[in-house]
Amino acid sequence: MSSSTGVRGQGPGTRGRRSEVKGQGTEVDYLVTSESRIPEPRTPNPESQIPKSPNPRTQDQLRATNIHKSYHKGPVEVPVLRGVDMEVRRGEFLSIVGQSGCGKSTLLHLLGTLDAPDRGEIHYDGRRIDNLPAAERDRLRNHQFGMIFQFYHLLPELNTLENVLAPLMIRHGTWSYLARRRQFKCKAKELLEMVGLGHRLKHRPRELSGGEMQRAAIARALVTKPCLLLADEPTGNLDTSTGEEIIHILRDLNDRRNLTIVMVTHDRSIARQADRIVRLVEGRIAE
Amino acid sequence: MYKLLLCLRYLRTRWIALASIISVTLGVATLIVVNSVMQGFTGEMKNRIKGTISDLMLESCSLSGMYDFDAHAERIMQVAGDRIEALSPMVAIQAMLYLRNGENTIVMPVDLVGIDERTQSKVSDFGKFLQHPANRRAMSFLLHEDGYDVRDHQAGDEAPPREPMAGAGWKHRREMARFREFQEKYLQRRQPQSAPPPESSTPPLSAPTRDPFAGRLPEEEINRFDPAAEQHAGIVLGMAMASFRTSDGVDHFRVLPGDDVKLTTVTVGQPPKDTSDNFTIVDFYESKMSEYDSKFVFVPIRKLQKMRGMWDPTTGVGWINAIQIKLKPGADGEAVRDLLRAAFSPRDYVVSTWRDKQGALLSAVDMETRILNILLFMIIAVAGFGILAIFYMIVVEKTRDIGILKSLGASSRGVMGIFLGYGLSLGAVGSGAGLVIGLLFVRYINEIADFIAWATGQPVFDPSIYYFYEIPAVVLPWTVFWIVCGALAIAVLASILPARRAARLHPVEALRYE
């Protein structure tokens, strides 16, 4: 919030841009103009219920508004997301389903600030996050989000315990980490016990089975006490029964700890475990 | 913390990277060895040069030299007496030296130097280079009975003993005299008709006086000279003239103290005339600078002045060519030189420091060292490119890990830090190993040289060339420090590019990377 705070957002710079945008919605959401550091024009959301305040007080934990994202393959632009609107409520277990290539993972990456949308906005706890400076986004990922992936993405050089501790190592400097090492280790062990890996602390990822690796990944995602867990096809690489176990763990986390979970999957039976299902078809949310 | 942990893990698990660091190791080790040996040689050479010539030299430009050492000395002391420790006069001239070696006579051109034996050792290390302990304490041109060093006192115990020196001195002289007498008698009996000249046994003798300073020059007395009891004027020969060294380090002597030699040089008159005289070897001079040891002979300055007509018999004052000046410790040679230059007209006198005289040699060695350093650092730079290539591969291999770290909230700078730290630690491991290898090599350089000589049958270090028995090596801590710093810097520089690439990887693309 540095420069133009024009309520109507009628700055000469914005108008020109908006003319190329098909959405003709109210100018209200341009309140946030000044906040933007990214050059992409943000499209006002036609059916948006965003209140006229830059800091919407809703119980939505995460809100994506008119997200557009395309990839460039040489000169060809391949649109992946074409105006996604969705919100994640606090404490819900949401699953996003869709066919392969419909942009589920891309959406999840955008929600997790691993990537920035071409257009549209993402708000987390009412604060816009898609255009934050890189350092802020890194902090957000480390402090607020936990992520698990289809291919587990454990660091092969570290053992299970170290993998789980990695986010804490990233968060803390060397000295403050070493000072609280014991405490962190206790916590990590506790989490690994919880996911049933208490006996595998010193094993390298390649010595673990897929299910075990995914459980280690869950423990790693939880070690920072995140407010939101983003899961990208967590069962995609596992057989049905192991996948069930993983989903069971996630379900349990949601039930007992009230952890908000957004899970992307193409498997409907897995998706059915969630509180709410959002279908993504051709880059849009299908109701 | 994660940077440190991952650095260490990569270091332990990526052996291929260690392959790239071997070149750094070898580069560092070679640099240390080369610098140490060069430093050893330069230091040794500097010491020897400083030992052979005095700090400062005041030379006369004229052929006949400067008249009256005392007057000049007084003037010098007036100008810079507070910084001068000692002065010594010198007469220097080219000469021919005749050595008897068995039945042959060897002729060699030499630099004949007339010195004052009482002061010469004060202005240079002249005394230290002599072979008789008494001469080292107080030089004298009189032959000693015996007691010449059998072991080279400047070398360690590894130098082979010089057996013939045990018999040198009056002992040798008497033996030789007896031998010549016997030879003479034998020849007389065989050829009774031809009356042999009285001094035929020894090299032609003409100055048969015990005290070479008494009497006029040239002396044509037919006083019977007894070689077993008398000596000519003393002469100190350069070691390399009197002996030669085989590659096993053993010295073979042509002559010994006690033998007589003949010198021919020229007088100062116009035109110069030749003048010859006999001398008795009283000692050998071994500075271990083969250039000096094979060129210089020293005789008493008075004797030389008389031979060359540089002495005024009426006043007893002589001419000299140069004054050697020894400075007090810490005195600035260049400043004193400039003072003397102001005091003595440059038309008649040349004032120079030892550096001025030997600067070309020293700077040549310095330049060699510099060029070697540049070349060897290029080797390390080549190693740097190897590191760069291998690092690039490692970054590509670790693309997914980078994506994971970023998804966990690691910053781009953090990721860059991992790889820079990795480069630094590889450099540290490489140059640390190089440091150890290099220092061990320098420590055991002579053993290694011996081993290589044994294994290949080719001597690596030939003591007959360098006149050292061992390879001199001096490790300068600062040089080592800079070498290691340079190697580390190259390793870090080589990892900057891959590290930047790692930092710039887009997390999503990195995660998708298979």
B405, A155: Cβ pair inside 8 Å?
yes
CA distance B400 to chain A (A): 8
Cα-only R_g, chain A: 20
Kindly state whether residue B315 falls inside one of the protein's structural domains.
Answer: no
Residue B373 backbone dihedrals phi, psi, to 5 degrees: -60, -45
Q: In 3D, which of A274, A241, A283 has the Cα closest to residue A92?
A: A274
Q: How many domains does chain B have?
A: 2
> Is residue B66 within 8 Å of residue B320, measured between CB atoms?
yes
Kindly state whether residue B407 falls inside one of the protein's structural domains.
Answer: yes
Please give the full DSSP string across B205-246, using - where no structure is assigned.
-----SSTTSS-SS----PPP-TTT---EEEEEEHHHHEEE-
Q: ipTM of the assembly? A: 0.75
Strand B233-238 and strand B296-300: the pairing is antiparallel
A276 interface with B at CB cutoff 8 Å: no
Q: How far from A140 is each of A124, A128, A131, B5, CA to CA, in Å?
A: 10, 12, 12, 23
A134, B412: Cβ pair inside 8 Å?
yes
Tell whether B196 and B269 lie within a shared domain: yes
B1, A173: Cβ pair inside 8 Å?
yes
CA distance B69 to B75: 10
A177, B1: Cβ pair inside 8 Å?
yes
Please give the full DSSP string across B142-191, using - where no structure is assigned.
SPPSS---SS-TTS-TTSPP-GGGGGTTHHHHHHHHHHHHHHHHHHHHH-
Residues 402-421 of B with CB under 8 A from A: 403-412, 414
Tell whether B37 and B107 lie within a shared domain: no
B404, A155: Cβ pair inside 8 Å?
yes
Tell whether B224 and B365 lie within a shared domain: no
- Tell me the residue range of the domain where B499 lies: 2-46+361-512
A169, B407: Cβ pair inside 8 Å?
no
Q: In 3D, which of B296, B133, B174, B305 has the Cα closest to residue B233?
A: B305
DSSP, collapsed to helix, strand or coil, labels residue B60 as: strand
Name which of B407, B504, B513 to mutate to probe chain A: the one with the most chain A Cβ atoms within 10 A of its Cβ: B407
CA distance B382 to chain A (A): 29
pLDDT at position A125:
86
Given A157, A172, A178, which is nearest B10 (Cβ)? A157
pLDDT at position B222:
53
Domain end among B294, B309, B324: B309
Residue-wise pLDDT for A181-237, tens only, equals 898 888 888 888 888 888 888 888 888 888 888 888 888 888 888 888 888 888 888
Residues 24-53 of A with CB under 8 A from B: none
A115, B508: Cβ pair inside 8 Å?
yes
Q: Is the pTM of this model over 0.90?
A: no
Residue A46 has pLDDT above 50, yes or no: no
514 residues of chain B, pLDDT tens digit each: 778 888 888 877 777 777 778 888 888 898 899 889 888 888 887 877 777 788 888 988 887 788 888 888 888 888 888 888 889 999 988 899 998 877 788 899 999 999 998 888 888 888 888 888 888 888 889 888 888 888 888 776 667 888 888 888 888 899 888 888 888 888 777 665 555 454 444 444 444 444 544 444 444 445 667 888 888 899 999 988 888 887 777 888 888 898 889 999 998 887 888 999 999 999 998 887 777 888 899 999 999 998 888 888 888 888 898 999 988 888 888 888 888 888 888 888 989 888 888 778 778 888 888 898 888 888 878 888 888 888 888 888 888 888 888 888 888 888 898 888 888 888 898 899 999 999 999 999 888 888 888 888 877 777 666 656 678 888 889 989 998 998 899 888 988 999 998 888 888 888 877 6
Q: What angle do CA A17, A22, A28 make, to 5 degrees?
A: 65
> Is residue A119 within 8 Å of residue A40, measured between CB atoms?
yes
A contacts of B1 (beta carbons < 8 Å): 169-170, 172-174, 177-178
B2 interface with A at CB cutoff 8 Å: yes
A135 interface with B at CB cutoff 8 Å: yes
A19 interface with B at CB cutoff 8 Å: no
Kindly state whether residue B352 falls inside one of the protein's structural domains.
Answer: no
Residue-wise pLDDT for B75-134, tens only, equals 888 888 888 888 999 998 889 999 887 778 889 999 999 999 888 888 888 888 888 888
Residue A163 has pLDDT above 80, yes or no: yes
B1, A169: Cβ pair inside 8 Å?
yes
Which region among A27-36, A252-261, B193-202, B371-380 has the lowest average model confidence (pLDDT)? Answer: A27-36
Which region among A17-31, A153-167, A200-214 has the lowest average model confidence (pLDDT)? Answer: A17-31
Q: In 3D, which of B394, B405, B505, B407 has the Cα closest to residue B13?
A: B394
Confidence bin at A241 (pLDDT 50/70/90): confident
Residue B77 backbone dihedrals phi, psi, to 5 degrees: -65, -35
Name which of B1, B394, B508 to mutate to probe chain A: the one with the most chain A Cβ atoms within 10 A of its Cβ: B1
> Is residue B243 within 8 Å of residue B88, measured between CB atoms?
no
Tell whether B109 and B10 lie within a shared domain: no
Residue-wise pLDDT for A108-137, tens only, equals 888 888 888 888 888 888 888 888 888 888
A contacts of B4 (beta carbons < 8 Å): 174
Cα-only R_g, chain B: 33
Residue B363 backbone dihedrals phi, psi, to 5 degrees: -70, -25
Q: How far from B507 is each of A113, A167, A235, B403, CA to CA, in Å?
A: 10, 16, 22, 4
* Residues 6 or more apart whose Cβ sits within 8 Å of residue B191: none
Q: What angle do CA A262, A186, A252 make, to 5 degrees?
A: 30
Given A157, A169, A173, which is nearest B13 (Cβ)? A157
How does the average pLDDT of chain A come out, rounded? 77
Tell whether B365 and B499 lie within a shared domain: yes
CA distance A204 to chain B (A): 12
Kindly state whether residue B51 falls inside one of the protein's structural domains.
Answer: no
Kindly state whether residue B334 falls inside one of the protein's structural domains.
Answer: no
B46 interface with A at CB cutoff 8 Å: no
pLDDT at position B288:
79
B407, A112: Cβ pair inside 8 Å?
yes
DSSP, collapsed to helix, strand or coil, labels residue B406 as: helix
Q: In what order do the strands lie in the sheet with B317-320?
A: B66-67, B317-320, B311-312
Domain ranges across chain A? 56-286
Kindly state whether residue B348 falls inside one of the protein's structural domains.
Answer: no
Tell whether B214 and B246 lie within a shared domain: yes
Fold classification of A56-286 (topology level):
Rossmann fold (3.40.50)
Q: In 3D, which of B136, B132, B161, B135 has the Cα closest to residue B146?
A: B132
B contacts of A172 (beta carbons < 8 Å): 1
pLDDT at position B217:
46
Kindly state whether residue B338 falls inside one of the protein's structural domains.
Answer: no
- Measure the CA dihedral B454/B460/B464/B468, to 10°: -110
